[in-house]
Structure 1
Amino acid sequence: MQAVAHLRRARDWMDAHYAEPLDVERLAAVAGWSRYHFIRSFAAAYGETPMAYLTRRRIERAQDLLRAANLTVTEVCLAVGFTSLGTFSRRFRELVGVSPSEYRAKHPPPPIPGCYLMMWTRPSNFG
Structure 2
Amino acid sequence: MRMVGPRSTTDQRLRDLALLRRVRDRIDRDYAQPLDVPALAREVHLSAGHLSRQFREAYGESPYSYLMTRRIERAMTLLRRGDLSVTEVCFEVGFSSLGTFSTRFSELVGVPPSTYRRDAERLAIPPCVTRRVTRPIRNREAPLATTPLA
Does structure 1 residue 33 correspond to structure 2 residue 50?
A: no
Where relative contact order (Cα < 8 A, 6+ residues apart) is larger, the structure is 1
Instruction: Show the 5 A alignment for 1:46-65.
Output: 46-65=59-78
> Contact conserved, 1:9 with 1:30, CA < 8 A, in 2?
no
Task: Please report the RMSD computed on the Cα atoms of aligned residues, expressed in angstroms.
Answer: 1.4
Using structure 2 for the length normalisation, give the TM-score.
0.69
Residue equivalent to 1:7: 20
User: Are 1:99 and 2:112 matched, yes or no?
Assistant: yes
Computing the radius of gyration from Cα coordinates, the structure with the larger value is 2
Show CA shifts across 1:70-127 (max 9, x none). 1010000000000110110011010001110010011129xxxxxxxxxxxxxxxxxx
Residue 32 of structure 1 deviates from its aligned partner by: 2.7
**Equivalent residues of 1:6, 1:32 under 8 A apart:** no
Deviations for 1:35-68, whole angstroms, at most 9, x for unmatched residues? 1110110011111111011001000000010011
Q: Which runs of 5+ in 1 are unaligned?
A: 110-127
Aligned equivalent of 1:20: 33
Determine if contact 2:82/2:117 at 8 Å carries over to the other structure.
no
Q: Distance in 2 between matches of 1:31 and 1:108?
A: 42
Task: Indicate yes or no: 2:97 matched with 1:84.
Answer: yes
Aligned to 1:71: 84
TM-superposed CA distance for 1:31, in Å, is: 2.6
- Please, what TM-score do these two structures have when normalized by structure 1? 0.81
C-alpha distance in 2, partners of 1:5/1:69? 38
Q: Is the 8 A contact 2:86 2:114 kept in 1?
A: yes
Partner AA of 1:7 in structure 2: L
Aligned amino acid, residue 99 of structure 1: P
Identity rate, percent: 56
